[in-house]
Amino acid sequence: RWLRHPERAVVTLAMEAGPPPPLEPSPLPTFTDEGFTEKFLRKTRENPLVPLGCLCTVGVLAYGIICFKKGNTRRSQLMMRARVLAQGFTIVSVVGGMVATTVKSRQ
């Protein structure tokens, strides 16, 4: 009889086993209210190279603009190249921080 209707055998066996045990609800994650300053400090502690790169970029850019205003075009061009390097450092820091966070969360 079971050979002709194997789907009935599966249903019958499942009914004999009884209902599954109830699942216990998992606790919901709790989030704290975090202001701008707290979040900025936490992110800076997690990846301190990003704010450092941003400060370097702004500093080099400001100095390059000052040199340009004074007419020192050679130094101004040098500072614009240094700005590109500082921006590259910042981007590498952001990507490195994202990779580190991903690796840390998987462990």
Mean pLDDT lowest among 20-24, 68-72, 77-81? 20-24
**Dist. CA 54–CA 64, nearest whole Å:** 15
pLDDT tens for 80-90 read: 999 999 999 99
Average pLDDT over residues 64-75: 96
What's 75-89 look like in SS3? HHHHHHHHHHHHHHH
pLDDT tens for 18-47 read: 676 777 877 777 777 888 999 889 888 888
pTM over 0.75: no
Domain range list for the chain: 46-100
